[in-house]
Structure 1
Amino acid sequence: MTELQQSAAKRLAQLDWRWKYFDELTSIEVYTMLGARSAVFVVEQNCVYGDIDGLDVDAWHLLAYGPGEKRPPLAGYLRVLLPDADDTDIRIGRVLTTAEFRGIGLGNAMLERALTHIRAQWSGTPIRLHAQAHLQGFYGAFGFAPVSEVHEEDGIPHVWMRSA
């Protein structure tokens, strides 16, 4: 293992993982979650859209925090929407890693952890996500396959992908 790989593995091992339903989140967790989503999706990707869409309150949230005493930094985040009357699939969305934690394999670790939780809690339910088109290979490695044509959303090419 190279020195860079060892450093990345060490940083991943230091993360504090939290898997919570919205009602279990603390006010600080909600604040850091919304702040990270704004920083990545609105500011970095220059995409003005209504992030607070009313879906968070009925979702599960996976948060990965870096080391820190009083207010540890949020390293990565995603939310999981459960099946409802309009959609029978579980949906993964708002997947992000913050700038400080990119390049250490956090995206892989987050998706692996999320899929483990989903399959343990809702075994056999299909899972879908709305991926940025350039990430099809990344999600494909986890068993997701495109189920739509590439289309533009908020100025960014996206594709729906699904895994059974």
Structure 2
Amino acid sequence: MEEIVWHWYAFEELSGGELYAILKLRQQIFVVEQQCAYQDCDDLDLKSWHLVGWQHADTTAEPVAYLRVIIPESPREMPVIGRLLIHPACRGRGTAGLILSLALNRIEEFYPAASVKIAAQYYLFNFYRKFGFIPASEVFDEDGIPHITMIRPPS
């Protein structure tokens, strides 16, 4: 597989084709692969940054990695990372760690004093701990999958 090309987008910067490819991959992973029937498209996409890893520089290609950062609307809120996914063909190569690092770097650039929140699937608990996230809730069920809220204090 070629090197992944990373792009940040505000929602309004996404073309129809790019948005379609992202939503298709989100459905493939979260709805079909994880057998989780839920409403993926939500109003939070409209006020988020979207980090997309494309197979190559031509963004008509398939996305292979994705996450969104929900931008805080007030100083009391913190950025929230969500919908982090890696295409099955790219798993086991460090892609998840790379996309998470890119997101954390961008958040630190724009919100240097902010903590970061994630509702992590519980099986990924130790993965997120490696990046400084600490548990902030008990394990809870979200759409039939165990999750835990985790917070990463500012660096």
- In the superposition, the TM-score normalised over structure 2's length comes to 0.93
In the TM superposition, what whole-angstrom CA distance separates every residue of 1:53-76 from its partner, at most 9, and x where no partner exists?
Answer: 111011000000113757322110
Flag the structure with larger Rg: 1
Read off the aligned partner of 2:96 and give its amino acid letter. Answer: G
Partners of 2:59 and 2:131 in 1: CA distance: 35
Alpha-carbon distance, 1:51 to partner? 0.5
Residue 148 of structure 2 corresponds to 159
Alpha-carbon distance, 1:84 to partner? 2.5
Read off the aligned partner of 2:44 and give its amino acid letter. Answer: L
In the TM superposition, what whole-angstrom CA distance separates every residue of 1:99-150 from its partner, at most 9, and x where no partner exists?
Answer: 1211111000000111111111111111000000010100000000010000
Partners of 2:56 and 2:73 in 1: CA distance: 36
Residue 115 of structure 1 corresponds to 104
Matched, 1:140 2:153: no
Matched, 1:51 2:40: yes
May I ask how many residue pairs the two structures share in their alignment?
Answer: 153
Q: Secondary structure at the match of 1:47?
A: coil
Partners of 1:120 and 1:69 in 2: CA distance: 27
Give the gaps of 5 or more residues in structure 1.
1-10
In the TM superposition, what whole-angstrom CA distance separates every residue of 1:64-96 from its partner, at most 9, and x where no partner exists?
Answer: 0113757322110000001135x6111000000
Matched, 1:77 2:77: no
Partners of 2:148 and 2:67 in 1: CA distance: 17
Q: Secondary structure at the match of 2:106?
A: helix
Partners of 1:68 and 1:47 in 2: CA distance: 32
- In the superposition, the TM-score normalised over structure 1's length comes to 0.88
Q: Secondary structure at the match of 2:26?
A: helix
Partners of 2:44 and 2:115 in 1: CA distance: 19
Alpha-carbon distance, 1:27 to partner? 1.4
Matched, 1:125 2:141: no
Q: Secondary structure at the match of 1:149?
A: coil
Identity of aligned residues (%): 38
Q: Secondary structure at the match of 2:30?
A: helix
Q: Secondary structure at the match of 1:55?
A: helix
Matched, 1:38 2:27: yes
Give the gaps of 5 or more residues in structure 2.
none
Partners of 1:139 and 1:156 in 2: CA distance: 17
Residue 89 of structure 2 corresponds to 100
